[in-house]
A and B are shown apart, each in its own frame.
Chain A
Amino acid sequence: MLSRVKSGGIFGIDGYIVDVEVDISNGLPVFDIVGLPDLSVRESRERVRAAIKNSGFEFPVKRITVNMAPANTKKEGSAFDLAIAIGILKATEQIPNVDSFDPLFLGELSLDGTLRPVKGVLPMLLSIRNSHKDVILPYSNAEEAANVSEINIYPFHTLKELVSYLRGQYNLTPFQRSDNDDIGFETEFMEDFSDVKGQESVKRALEIAAAGGHNVIMIGPPGSGKTMLAKRIPSILPDLSYKEALEITQIYSVAGLLKEGEGLIRYRPFMSPHHTISSTALVGGGRIPVPGQISLAHHGVLFLDELPEFKKEVLEVLRQPLEDGKITISRAYGTATFPAKFMLVGSANPCNCGYFGSSNGNQECICTPTQIRRYLGKISGPLMDRFDIHIEVPSLSFQKISGNDKGESSASIRARVNKGRERQMERYQEEGIYYNAQLSAKLIRKYCVLDKSARALMEQAFSSMNLSARAYDRILKVSRTIADLEGDKNIQTHHIAEAIQYRSLDRQYWS
């Protein structure tokens, strides 16, 4: 007897339909899977056999051949368990064939017949939502799957329960997400700027960065709280949209990082890989491509602490995704593309010893000018160019100046950021971009027009402060954001004047 059921596989974040054919014939009892399965799929034979038996059904002592089509794509993972089990039960006529109901089966089986959650459900359903309408999957994947409203979701806890349903023993209405009306994004954060006393200059710069989506580098002595500040950036980024949340959730789904029963990621991610990270782990890769840290930071923050300590070749691979907002990984079986639109936040000590520029405390910088130049010089020019905003984080001795005033809350900062971001989205409707950091050289000429006095200030500043030429466009973009935060249609002289202060590393004493 022959049976056919449908399942789904995933490559990158693209899903595809897999036809699972099961043929049962007389002969020596063999259980074989063909159609480019990898080791993890072959292992499903043992799980399927045990799950069928332990659920009280009969496992045929015959020759069983499972074919998975298309045969040219490498199949991976445990998500085909359920389809194979159902195929066997159908081929042995333990489940009736109903032509009108041909759902997709996704799920891993445990030995006792329990359905266990699988990776990549959301992106898979998004890929097939126009061609298929019913999906059967483990209960733990239901919330995630329910984001795709075009598809009827039928979740089950056990194989036994599912078989009763397929035998027509009861009716079910498709699963509805528990919080359908009010999706509700995170607005309270564990890490809030109200915990940060003083540091007004740093907070202001981060507010601008958040509003304009600008990459920032924070320079400061050890112990000045760079990490503590970076962790709070997601709490002042613009409110997450449903579309963004869906994109983030897809990546986490593929990576298998959704928590059990988590339907949607409702916060902007913060990724902070250690400086010993490999290029593959940073940007993604592997035999069957998996997303790297830059994709896990999609719509959130990628924090690279101690930037000069990262290997040169690792930082090098960041450049293309920073440009494109995505990363493409080519493999023999195809090309996977993961989105990677993140805010890059770097931190660095100002010099080898860490105390250049904070000579007021008990620690003094002992580096020579050459050593100082060489230290931040480890960060390549093209990467350095990606940082629109340079922040000098003061040493503890200066932080004490600000006393113990409680800081402004993240929510109230975020309210201003939201307003500033809305103005940008409105302005750029026709341009295919969302915020100022994305402005190309051409768009800068269009949207960052200076009046006479602002232009005069730029010229004076460049000649008197020895700013490098590369600073010019970055100052324009940042002043555009400052103007947006102020609700000003035009860039004014004082916006430029403020923006110039966020280019410390272009100053003569650094470069």
Chain B
Amino acid sequence: MEQVEERIFWVWLSQIPGIGARRFHVLIEYFGGADRVWFASEEDITGLAPSLGRNVVNEIINQRNNNTLDRIKKMLDSTEFRIITLLDDEYPVLLRQIYDPPPVLYCKGLPIENNHPTISIVGSRRSTAYGRQMAEKFSYELASAGVTIVSGLARGIDAMAHYGALKAEGRTIGVLGCGIDVIYPPENRRLFSKMEQEGTIITEYPPGASPVAGNFPARNRIISGMTRGVLVIEAGEKSGALITVDFALEQGREVYALPGNINVSQSVGTNKLLKEGARLVTEVHDILEDLGLQKEKVENEPKSVQLDFFETQVYNALQEGERHLEELSKITKLDINRLNAVLTMLEVKGIVKQMPGKIFIRNWDA
């Protein structure tokens, strides 16, 4: 009962406008608990005006009413989402250790499991097809090996990172820069609903909070803070992903980066990170080794799929990675008409995947 009561005051204090994670922790330390702030004399609180500002002090005083508390109690009983405070066991274990952990997290989806390694995968919202493909691939493989994938539920790399982990039926956590009930960006609706069922969504912002630009850097500190390391797939020169990297370094997390085409703006940031000493990643093993994990044995040859002579020939031609239709024709010496037919058969059998632009790759998640 004591515990429950304290959670109410935690949530209450965390929701007072003008009180972010840092001020929250300062107040708790000063008064000795969130409930103490509620019960403190008006004088004691007003005395903080020089450091907190007049407005914040007034807010604390005004919010000390039973209506507010009732509202918070309702929130704690909500079936739409749940609230995890720093006092709870479910609170992400690594996030506790950062300098300014969010006192309260609003959460939807599966419970957060703290006994697994976590890695965050981040990158540009304006990503290339290559970047999106790699985000999905690395996420899939890491998640298959038991790593929890954390990202920001944004467009591009973030979305693909979540999809990759979901496809592997692994664990993935999306961190929002707005209220738990706000879907942003709107085109990720499908991803949100998948994440609510098969993954986890968290945020430090109270329900209804809109995705204002200022929230996103703070959101990024959670992404890096929850994880052992940050894998940057693609980042332009001024990408938000680089802010996550700064937090990671501050928090003592590892920074991994994927090398990219030097002619492409989306790779400028990642290549610069590599130059400055980020861990270069070309295969998932590079990360798993640090985490003391083994790669899931991926079958190189398709199992239980019967291939005829031409299908085998084309499948073998894809051994070294993606190939354009014209390249495949050159390598296999097959006429386009036969090659097209063979590719359809391989696609139908599920062992080859077609990408936009008539590019074919082996289906590594077959």
Residues of A whose CB lies within 8 Å of any CB of B are 198-201, 203-204, 350, 356-360, 362-366, 368-370, 392, 394-395, 398-399, 401-402, 457, 460-461, 464-465, 482, 494-498, 500-502, 504, 507, 509-510
Q: Does B344 contact A (CB under 8 A)?
A: yes
A401 touches B356 (CB 8 A): no
A364 touches B348 (CB 8 A): no
A358 to B358, CA, bound (A): 9
A402 touches B341 (CB 8 A): no
A357 touches B357 (CB 8 A): yes
When the two chains form the complex, which single residue of B130, B326, B335 contacts A398, counting CB atoms closer than 8 Å?
Answer: B326
B357 touches A350 (CB 8 A): yes
A352 to B326, CA, bound (A): 25
A394 to B357, CA, bound (A): 7
Taking the closest CB of chain A, its distance from the CB of B241, in whole angstroms, is 15
**Knowing A201-B336, A394-B324 touch, does A497 contact B341 (C-beta < 8 A)?**
yes
Q: Does B306 contact A (CB under 8 A)?
A: no
A358 to B266, CA, bound (A): 15
- Residues in A whose Cβ lies below 8 Å from that of B125: 368
B344 touches A366 (CB 8 A): no
A497 to B264, CA, bound (A): 36
Taking the closest CB of chain B, its distance from the CB of A214, in whole angstroms, is 15
When the two chains form the complex, which single residue of A201, A461, A510 contacts B356, counting CB atoms closer than 8 Å?
Answer: A510
When the two chains form the complex, which single residue of B261, B263, B336, B359 contacts A200, counting CB atoms closer than 8 Å?
Answer: B336
B340 touches A392 (CB 8 A): no
Number of A-B residue pairs, CB cutoff 8 Å, is: 119
- Residues in B whose Cβ lies below 8 Å from that of A496: 344
When the two chains form the complex, which single residue of A201, A369, A507 contacts B187, counting CB atoms closer than 8 Å?
Answer: A369
- Residues in B whose Cβ lies below 8 Å from that of A365: 128-129
B326 touches A358 (CB 8 A): no
Q: Which 9 A-B pairs have the closest CB atoms?
A: A357-B357, A357-B356, A497-B341, A364-B128, A497-B344, A501-B340, A494-B341, A362-B263, A359-B129
A497 touches B336 (CB 8 A): no
Q: Does B215 contact A (CB under 8 A)?
A: no
A395 to B327, CA, bound (A): 13
A401 touches B336 (CB 8 A): no
When the two chains form the complex, which single residue of A203, A356, A494, A500 contacts B129, counting CB atoms closer than 8 Å?
Answer: A356
A495 to B340, CA, bound (A): 10
- Residues in A whose Cβ lies below 8 Å from that of B127: 366
A327 to B152, CA, bound (A): 55
Taking the closest CB of chain A, its distance from the CB of B320, in whole angstroms, is 14
When the two chains form the complex, which single residue of A368, A395, A401 contacts B330, counting CB atoms closer than 8 Å?
Answer: A401
Query: Which among A358, A364, A482 has the highest number of chain B CB atoms within 10 Å?
Result: A364
Q: Does B209 contact A (CB under 8 A)?
A: no
**Knowing A362-B263, A365-B129, A366-B126 touch, does A399 contact B356 (C-beta < 8 A)?**
no
**Knowing A398-B324, A500-B344 touch, does A366 contact B155 (C-beta < 8 A)?**
no
**Knowing A359-B128, A368-B187, A392-B358 touch, does A204 contact B336 (C-beta < 8 A)?**
yes
Select from chain A the residue with minimum beta-carbon distance to B331.
Answer: A401
Q: Does B345 contact A (CB under 8 A)?
A: yes
**Knowing A401-B327, A402-B326, A497-B345 touch, does A357 contact B156 (C-beta < 8 A)?**
no
A118 to B90, CA, bound (A): 90
A13 to B78, CA, bound (A): 75
Taking the closest CB of chain A, its distance from the CB of B191, in whole angstroms, is 11
**Chain A to chain B contacts (Cβ below 8 Å), 22 pairs:** A200-B326, A200-B335, A201-B325, A350-B356, A356-B357, A357-B356, A359-B130, A359-B357, A360-B359, A362-B263, A366-B265, A368-B126, A394-B358, A395-B357, A398-B324, A398-B326, A401-B327, A482-B337, A497-B341, A498-B337, A501-B341, A507-B354
- Residues in B whose Cβ lies below 8 Å from that of A482: 337
A369 to B163, CA, bound (A): 14
A398 touches B327 (CB 8 A): yes
Q: Does B18 contact A (CB under 8 A)?
A: no
Q: Mark B64-98, 1 if CB is under 8 A from A, else 0.
A: 00000000000000000000000000000000000
A357 touches B129 (CB 8 A): yes
Select from chain A the residue with minimum beta-carbon distance to B156.
Answer: A368
B356 touches A509 (CB 8 A): yes
- Residues in A whose Cβ lies below 8 Å from that of B338: 494, 498
Q: Does B347 contact A (CB under 8 A)?
A: yes
- Residues in B whose Cβ lies below 8 Å from that of A369: 155, 187
Q: Does B313 contact A (CB under 8 A)?
A: no
Taking the closest CB of chain B, its distance from the CB of A511, in whole angstroms, is 12
B326 touches A464 (CB 8 A): no
When the two chains form the complex, which single residue of A364, A398, A401, A460 contacts B261, counting CB atoms closer than 8 Å?
Answer: A364
